[in-house]
């Protein structure tokens, strides 16, 4: 999954400068990036879920710590 994510962003960077060989209007680099997009999207969603869960856990721990010292 990490490879797919890094490949997507790397291919997007390369595509900015060179779209690769084209066949019938489709460019190779853009096609590869499109194939890697679902993997990058999934990894982003997982990261956002992890961020929200971690924030909630830290908030609970902070509340518990504040209650202990009151």
How would you write the pLDDT of the chain (70 residues) with one tens digit per residue? Answer: 999 999 999 999 999 999 999 989 899 999 999 999 999 999 999 999 999 999 999 999 999 999 999 8
DSSP 27: E
pTM given for the model: 0.81
Residue where the block lists tokens 């924030």: 55
Nearest residue to 59 (alpha-carbon basis) of 69, 67, 47, 49: 67
Domain ranges of the chain: 2-68
Please tell me the chain's helix, strand, coil percentages from 3-state DSSP, rounded to the nearest 5. Answer: 80, 5, 15
CA–CA distance, 17 with 10 (Å, rounded to integer)? 11
Q: Tokens representing 61? A: 């721990």
């Amino acid at each position: 999954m990490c490879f797919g994510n890094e490949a997507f962003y790397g291919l997007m960077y390369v595509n900015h400068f060179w779209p690769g060989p084209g066949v019938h209007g489709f460019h190779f680099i853009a096609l590869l990036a499109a194939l890697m997009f679902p993997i990058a999207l999934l990894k982003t969603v997982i990261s956002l879920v992890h961020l929200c869960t971690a924030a909630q856990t830290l908030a609970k721990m902070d509340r518990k710590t504040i209650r202990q010292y009151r």
